[in-house]
Structures are given as structure tokens and as C-alpha cells.
């Protein structure tokens, strides 16, 4: 998919589905160090192609996060090969390539992960199509970031999530 070697997304929606499918694996990342990450960027201008998965490696355990539509999330494990070129790209004017450069994620490389939580989008507006979408939050002693649904693509935000998110600790309730 998307010409990415090993990428076979299995999208799910909703807090309970994500927690059931991936909660134990995400919780088990605690205590591991973020050793590297990879994003797809365009060679021509360096722009991040946010529709592709965000790949995080925690001491050899690779988690691959990708959002689509308004509320779907795929979390993969150790399947994407970021050393293989992206092939079969449908847009001739752009060349995608894996990159280990990102100013938001670079400060976390080498740090020990303390906790992973799921963030559920619960805005005050009753007519928000993304209501119930799930972000994945990674907490370190020196800070935190989360990968969220930006309406059919990923977003990466550093710091505390806004008040529209309800935080669900893995292995516990909302906090």
C-alpha cells in the first residue's frame, strides 16, 4: 500500500476497538527507549507526506501508526521496512523517501518511554465528524507527543493534548 514495503494497514475505529486490539502491545513499550523514527518526506522539497505511517522504533520494537478518514487508525508492528525504497508511487512530480529528520520527534530519541495513552477526541461541538477518533500519546520524562487524526492524515503534536481530548491510560481508565 502506498508503495511502502510491508505496510498492510488494518484500520479500526473507536476507543474500545483500539484498546482491545493494541492496548497490551502499546503498554508493553513502557521502559523502552525511542531509538529512531521514520516519516515519508518528498525528496524535492522535504515536505512530510502525512498520509503515510509514522514509524517509531523502541529498542527494536517498531510501532507503525497511520490515520485515515475521520476516525480510523491502523497500528502495525514490525512490518514496515524503512530501508527499502518506496515504489509504485502514483504521482510523477514527487519522489517519496523515508526520513529520520523531524524537529518535533528528534528531541525524544534516546529517551525512555514512561507511558502510552490513548486520547479520544471529544469536542464541545455536537456536530464534529471526527468525534471519537483516537490519538496515541507517548510520554517521556522530558515531555510528550501524540500522533492524531488530522482528517484523513496524521498529525504530530508535542506537549499536552488540548481539552478536547479525553486521556485513557492503557491498563486504566480516563485521566
- End-to-end CA, the chain: 36
The pTM assigned to this predicted structure is: 0.94
Count of alpha carbons within 13 angstroms of residue 153, beta-carbon side: 9
Domain presence at residue 138? yes
Residue 54 has pLDDT above 90, yes or no: yes
Residue 174 has pLDDT above 70, yes or no: no
Residue 50 has pLDDT above 90, yes or no: yes
Taking residues 1-14, what's their average pLDDT? Answer: 90
Structurally, the chain folds into a number of domains equal to 1
Taking residues 61-76, what's their average pLDDT? Answer: 96
Domain presence at residue 2? no
Residue 93's domain comprises 12-169
Domain presence at residue 98? yes
CB 109, CB 32: distance < 8 Å: no
Q: Which comes out higher in pLDDT, residue 159 or 89?
A: 159
Report the SS3 class of residue 138.
strand
Residue 173 has pLDDT above 70, yes or no: no
Query: Within 10 Å of residue 154's Cβ, how many Cβ atoms?
Result: 22
* Separation CA 5–CA 123 (nearest Å): 36
Q: Which comes out higher in pLDDT, residue 37 or 174?
A: 37
Residue 102 — very low, low, confident or very high, per pLDDT cuts 50/70/90?
very high
* Separation CA 154–CA 83 (nearest Å): 21
Percent of the residues in the chain that have a pLDDT greater than 90, as a whole number: 82
pLDDT of residue 88: 77
The DSSP code for 95 is -
Domain presence at residue 1? no
Residue 47 — very low, low, confident or very high, per pLDDT cuts 50/70/90?
very high
* Distance, CA of 163 to chain centre: 20
Taking residues 13-35, what's their average pLDDT? Answer: 97
* Separation CA 26–CA 6 (nearest Å): 20
Residue 7 — very low, low, confident or very high, per pLDDT cuts 50/70/90?
very high
Residue 90 has pLDDT above 80, yes or no: no
Domain presence at residue 119? yes
Domain presence at residue 7? no
Domain presence at residue 4? no
Domain presence at residue 174? no
CB 172, CB 126: distance < 8 Å: no
* Separation CA 88–CA 127 (nearest Å): 38
Residue 30 has pLDDT above 70, yes or no: yes
CB 121, CB 131: distance < 8 Å: yes
Average pLDDT of the residues of the chain: 92
Task: For the sheet with 12-13, list strands across it.
Answer: 12-13, 72-77, 61-68, 54-58, 34-42, 96-99
| pLDDT, tens only, 130-172 | 777 999 999 999 999 999 999 889 999 999 999 999 999 996 5
**108: CB partners within 8 A, 6+ apart:** 34, 138, 140, 142, 143, 145
Amino acid at each position: 500500500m502506498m508503495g511502502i514495503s510491508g505496510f498492510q494497514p488494518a484500520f479500526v475505529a473507536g476507543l474500545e476497538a483500539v484498546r482491545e486490539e493494541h492496548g497490551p502491545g502499546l503498554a508493553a513499550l513502557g521502559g523502552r527507549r525511542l531509538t529512531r523514527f521514520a516519516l515519508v518526506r518528498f525528496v524535492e522539497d522535504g515536505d512530510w507526506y502525512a498520509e503515510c505511517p509514522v514509524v517509531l522504533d523502541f529498542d527494536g520494537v517498531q510501532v507503525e501508526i497511520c490515520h485515515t478518514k475521520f476516525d480510523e487508525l491502523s497500528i502495525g508492528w514490525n512490518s514496515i521496512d524503512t530501508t527499502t525504497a518506496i515504489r509504485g508511487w502514483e504521482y510523477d512530480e514527487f519522489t517519496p523517501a523515508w526520513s529520520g529528520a523531524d524537529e518535533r520527534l528528534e528531541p525524544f530519541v534516546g529517551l525512555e518511554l514512561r507511558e502510552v495513552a490513548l486520547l479520544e477526541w471529544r469536542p464541545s461541538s455536537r456536530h464534529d465528524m471526527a468525534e471519537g477518533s483516537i490519538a496515541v500519546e507517548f510520554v517521556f520524562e522530558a515531555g510528550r507527543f501524540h500522533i492524531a487524526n488530522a482528517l484523513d492524515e496524521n498529525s504530530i503534536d508535542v506537549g499536552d493534548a488540548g481539552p478536547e481530548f479525553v486521556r485513557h491510560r492503557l491498563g486504566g481508565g480516563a485521566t
